[in-house]
Amino acid sequence: MNIISIRTFARMYDKLELLSHTNESLQLGDLFDKRGMFNNILDFNGFNISYQIGLSEPEAKDLKNRLGSVPLWEGSFLDVRIQDRFSVRGDMKIPAAQINLTGKVEQKNVKHFEIGKIQTRLLRDELRYSLQNAIRGFRDRNPEQFRNELSRLYLIEQLFYAAEIRITFDRNTVIDLDQHIDRKSGTAELKTGLNQDQVLTIKGSNYPFAVDLKKISDFI
């Protein structure tokens, strides 16, 4: 079993984008813009690529449904667990579980969090080929519009989910599951662990914690 930090995980898998905000509706083909001096700030475009490449309404809906229906798989991630301090950015949030303890629990009482059973949705094979062809067709028919509106954007080609998240708190910490946890993020269970520490386990989260983005001009 390999235990690594969340930033190491991101670097290992082609510099993934760790999500500071997420929701369960994110899917393959969703579009992002990057801004900032180092292109390190992500902005969700608000659209899926399906509706930006000149397809008819039924065609776009069908493609978006296919992109949203790609099943989860585990692959090599079965042997990887992410163990880290509580936050990626210095606060007390885990977007993948819709947990925000900032101002509710003292940071010194949070020992670490761990992500295990990592799962992914990947744009591949026939679906990837069909999307590439559709984008190329739009580019060839509308070169100026493609250059001005799409070529600089990024699309999600892979999503990463935490099937299990475990947070360890000091034994004196008071945790209110109803107040602190979004029940939509999965099933939550609080137990006593080693040294009487409290261990919060969340399973079945539908919120991705990282994405692999590909610039559209490079995707095709």
pLDDT tens profile 57-114:
999 999 999 999 999 998 666 566 777 654 444 456 676 666 767 666 777 788 777 8
Q: State how far the Cα of 53 lies from the Cα of 146, in Å rounded to an integer.
A: 9
Tokens of 30: 């969703």
Place of tokens 């083909």: 29
Q: What pLDDT does residue 124 have?
A: 94
- Compute how many other C-beta atoms are within 10 angstroms of the C-beta atom of residue 91: 13
- Compute how many other C-beta atoms are within 10 angstroms of the C-beta atom of residue 15: 9
Q: Which of 15-24, 134-143, 172-181, 202-211 has the highest mean pLDDT?
A: 134-143
Q: What pLDDT does residue 37 have?
A: 66
Q: What pLDDT does residue 89 have?
A: 45
User: Which tens digits make up the pLDDT trace of 19-45?
Assistant: 877 888 999 999 999 887 667 788 898
Q: State how far the Cα of 132 lies from the Cα of 174, in Å rounded to an integer.
A: 51
Q: What pLDDT does residue 183 have?
A: 61
Residue type, 77: F
Q: What pLDDT does residue 207 have?
A: 86
Cα–Cα distance list, 79 to 2, 82, 117, 118, 146 (Å)? 6, 10, 8, 9, 41
Q: What pLDDT does residue 212 have?
A: 94
Q: Which of 42-46, 103-107, 123-127, 201-205 has the highest mean pLDDT?
A: 123-127
Q: State how far the Cα of 97 lies from the Cα of 110, in Å rounded to an integer.
A: 16
* Average of per-residue pLDDT values in the chain: 84
pTM for the model: 0.84
Residue 117 has pLDDT above 90, yes or no: no
Q: Which of 85-99, 166-180, 197-211 has the highest mean pLDDT?
A: 197-211
Q: State how far the Cα of 132 lies from the Cα of 144, in Å rounded to an integer.
A: 18
Residues ≥6 apart with Cβ < 8 Å to 176: none
Place of tokens 């299990």: 164
Tokens of 113: 């969090």
Q: What pLDDT does residue 75 have?
A: 63
Q: State how far the Cα of 203 lies from the Cα of 115, in Å rounded to an integer.
A: 10
User: Which tens digits make up the pLDDT trace of 127-170?
Assistant: 999 999 999 999 999 999 999 999 999 999 999 988 888 888 88
Residue 176 has pLDDT above 70, yes or no: yes
- The angle at the Cα of 71, spanning 74 to 215, to the nearest 5 degrees, equals 90
Place of tokens 């899917």: 27
